[in-house]
Amino acid sequence: MEKILVTRRIPHKFIERLESIGEVEIWDHDLTPMPRKEFIEAAKDKTAMIVTLSES
């Protein structure tokens, strides 16, 4: 099973599609980017990531 990290909220229809592929972890803090340290830790065991252009 795939493990997917999503670093921003995205429309629910896309989350549903991702959930049909595998386990999805979402950073659910709409106005705050995922801190670098947390991103690195969360990404360690993921097979895919959805990252937006606004991430720093």
Question: What are the b/e assignments for 22-53, b being 16+ CB within 10 Å?
Answer: eebeebeeeeeebeeeebeebeeebeeeeeee
* pLDDT of amino acid 29: 86
Of 55 and 31, the structure prediction assigns the larger pLDDT to 31
Distance CA 37, CA 56 (A): 12
Of 33 and 45, the structure prediction assigns the larger pLDDT to 45
Residue carrying the six token digits 């106005």: 31
Q: Above 80 in pLDDT, residue 53?
A: no
Whole-structure pTM value: 0.86
User: What is the chain's mean pLDDT, rounded?
Assistant: 92
Instruction: Identify whether the C-beta of residue 24 lies closer than 8 Å to the C-beta of residue 7.
Output: no
* pLDDT of amino acid 20: 97
